[in-house]
Amino acid sequence: MQLNLTANSKRVKTLDLSQPVVMGILNVTPDSFSDGGQYHALEAAFKQAEKMVADGAKIIDIGGESTRPGASVVSLEEELARVIPIIKRIALQLDVVISIDTSKAQVMREAVAAGAHIINDVRALQEEGALQAAAELAVPVCIMHMQGQPINMQDSPSYHDVTTEVLVFLQQRIDDCVNAGIRREHIILDPGFGFGKTLEQNYQLLADTAVFHQFGLPVLIGVSRKSMIGNLLQCDESQRLAGSLACASAAATDGAQILRVHDVRETADVLAVVAQLAKHRNSKRGS
Ligand code: 8Y7
């Protein structure tokens, strides 16, 4: 499977998804890189991006709006000020695919103009103008399932059958995207771990990873350091690496193409082992 990253009139760039790849998380919210002013914040973010690329990240996902449970909203101006400088710098200096984590149409436009290749929207292009912006920009889009909004989504998640309901939502959004003019082969799907789901619902979805391949589109899984690990293991964020890697291993074994993670080097190692195993599963004994 390959993802064509070429927007209108730009030179051809593709992302090989025949083996699972790591998407490194780069949060540029004030709590991440705020000590020492604007210049130092940009410098620190760039250094982290550089390290993630050296560690094996094929995609860097840049986000300026926190979508953690209970997080408050961020203004357009604030979000642009956070993400645009770092996108420009990475586009200029690193050979990596850039993903912009946003729900705002204007951020999508300015981010792609600055050098972003992929739009990652936890609200699945449902905010005003987002669907049209994504269609016009003609770049790949990741559409994610969420029940509720970040401010209240973990209050009382409720499903009759979580996997079926996520599948139905994704099918509907694929149709909406295609009807808006987004190329089908530009759509990446994400079940949305932790976005309006209980611990049991999250693990049900992870166990059902393979089901999400029925659309023939790349599947992105984001479980890194999330509460589905912390609540199961009763540990804080600094102690969720092993749990995150176990989830990454399971998802990659079930064919997930993109793993969105904090711990790039460790996840890349897991993916290399999973790929080596897959090679032997597919080859006939003795050949
Ligand atoms: C996801 C995500 C977050 C995810 C996609 C966190 C921005 C919360 N999680 N995007 N973003 N999938 N596509 O803990 O699971 O990283 S933010």
Model pLDDT, residue 11: 60
Check if 63 has its Cβ closer than 6 Å to any atom of ligand 1. Answer: yes
Model pLDDT, residue 283: 80
Four-residue CA torsion sign, 32, 34, 36, 39: positive
User: Residue 102's Cα: distance from chain center in Å?
Assistant: 11
CA 262 to ligand 1: nearest atom? 16
Distance 122 CA to ligand 1 centre (A): 7
CA 67 to ligand 1: nearest atom? 17
Which tens digit of pLDDT belongs to each residue from 23-32? Answer: 999 999 887 7
Amino acid at 148: G
Model pLDDT, residue 36: 61
Model pLDDT, residue 40: 83
CA 220 to ligand 1: nearest atom? 13
Check if 120 has its Cβ closer than 6 Å to any atom of ligand 1. Answer: yes
Which tens digit of pLDDT belongs to each residue from 233-284? Answer: 999 999 999 999 999 999 999 999 999 999 999 999 999 999 999 999 978 6
CA 226 to ligand 1: nearest atom? 14
Mutation test residue for ligand 1: of 60, 67, 123, the one with most atoms within 8 Å of CB: 67
**pTM (2 decimals)?**
0.95
Distance 220 CA to ligand 1 centre (A): 10
Pairing of strands 57-63, 220-221: unpaired
Distance 283 CA to ligand 1 centre (A): 35
The DSSP line for 148-174 is S-TTTTTS----SSHHHHHHHHHHHHH
d(CA 171, CA 190): 12
Give the three-state DSSP class for 120. strand
Alpha helices in 181-261 (DSSP H): 199-207, 227-233, 241-253
Check if 101 has its Cβ closer than 6 Å to any atom of ligand 1. Answer: yes
For 102, the token pair is 């946003």
Strands (E) in the chain, as ranges, are 2-4, 14-16, 21-27, 57-63, 97-101, 118-121, 141-144, 187-190, 220-221, 258-261
Distance 93 CA to ligand 1 centre (A): 25
Q: Which residue has a Cα nearest atom 7 of ligand 1? A: 101
d(CA 14, CA 2): 7
The burial class, CB within 10 Å (0-12 / 13-18 / 19+), for 129 is middle
Model pLDDT, residue 7: 66
Check if 83 has its Cβ closer than 6 Å to any atom of ligand 1. Answer: no
Model pLDDT, residue 157: 92
Give the chain's residues under pLDDT 50.
287
User: Residue 255's Cα: distance from chain center in Å?
Assistant: 16
Domains of the chain in start order, with CATH, are 2-286 (3.20.20.20)
Distance 287 CA to ligand 1 centre (A): 41
Distance 224 CA to ligand 1 centre (A): 9
Q: Which residue has a Cα nearest atom 15 of ligand 1? A: 222
Check if 142 has its Cβ closer than 6 Å to any atom of ligand 1. Answer: yes
